[in-house]
Amino acid sequence: MPMDEAELVKVGAALIGGGAAGAIITAIVTSYRNRIQPVRYRMKTVPVFSKAPRSSTIETVVTLRANGQGYDFANLHLTELSIVNSGNQNIKEFTIGITMSNNDRIVNAHCEAPDRQHNGSQVGEITPADPKQAVDFKLIPFNRQDAYQFRLLSTSANDREPGEIKLSSSEPVRFVARIDIGETLGRSSLEIAVELVAKSVGAKFR
């Protein structure tokens, strides 16, 4: 029995509507896949050593030793940073840059990969003899939900906590701060700081 005009209109409208909906869904999925990928991070900075108050008659410095040489610093801070690829794409090689404020310098840096199938290598060398304002790390790979941790030992010319620390990358990503109340990065900051100083450079207080 042939369809009447009203039924044909209904079927045509359904087909057209379905096609449009499919196109819209496809566009949404494509946009989601191609969006700037988010990288979530958590950062915490704690003092390791601070000089005596200005009113004190005692001069206090911490001496870091590297290759038999001693280097004095009026203060040291430990920054713990963790990042997670929370996007929807796997990245074979990812470079992250960590930049301190103008008055702050990194004296030691370390990256911890999640396992032995992942590698986080520092680009260039940073030592107490040659502190730098910025450090880059190359992460291979940085797949979805991969997490890397970084520890930076820094000093400030202002005898105060380091200023703003900026994260950057040449990849199309955006860094999104992640705040988890009551959650820590594992061991205590003091424990990590003592181990970092002892193993990396050796420390002597006076």
Instruction: Give the CA-trace dihedral at 74, 76, 77, 82, to 10 degrees.
Output: 150
pLDDT at 26 > cutoff 70 = no
φ and ψ at residue 131, rounded to 5 degrees: -65, 150
pLDDT at 7 > cutoff 90 = no
- Hunting for tokens 């869904």 — which residue is that? 25
Query: What is the per-residue DSSP string for 92-122?
Result: SSEEEEEE--TTEEEEEEEEE-SSTT-EEEE
CA 174 – CA 182 distance, rounded (Å):
25
* pLDDT reported for residue 23: 56
* pLDDT reported for residue 67: 87
pLDDT at 121 > cutoff 80 = yes
**How many other C-beta atoms lie within 10 A of the C-beta of residue 22?**
10
* pLDDT reported for residue 12: 59
**41 confidence band (pLDDT: 50, 70, 90):** very high
**What would the pLDDT profile of 123-176 be if each residue is shown by its tens digit?**
999 999 999 999 999 999 999 999 999 999 999 987 788 899 999 999 999 999
Mean confidence (pLDDT) of the chain: 81
Q: Are 134 and 188 a contacting pair, CB within 8 Å? A: no
Separation of CA 81 from chain center: 5
Spell out the long-range contacts of 120-127 with Cβ–Cβ below 8 A and sequence spacing 24 or more: 120/148, 120/150, 123/95, 127/66
Which tokens in the block code for residue 48? Answer: 């390791």
Q: Are 85 and 39 a contacting pair, CB within 8 Å? A: yes
Residue 34, C-beta contacts closer than 8 angstroms, at least 6 positions apart: none
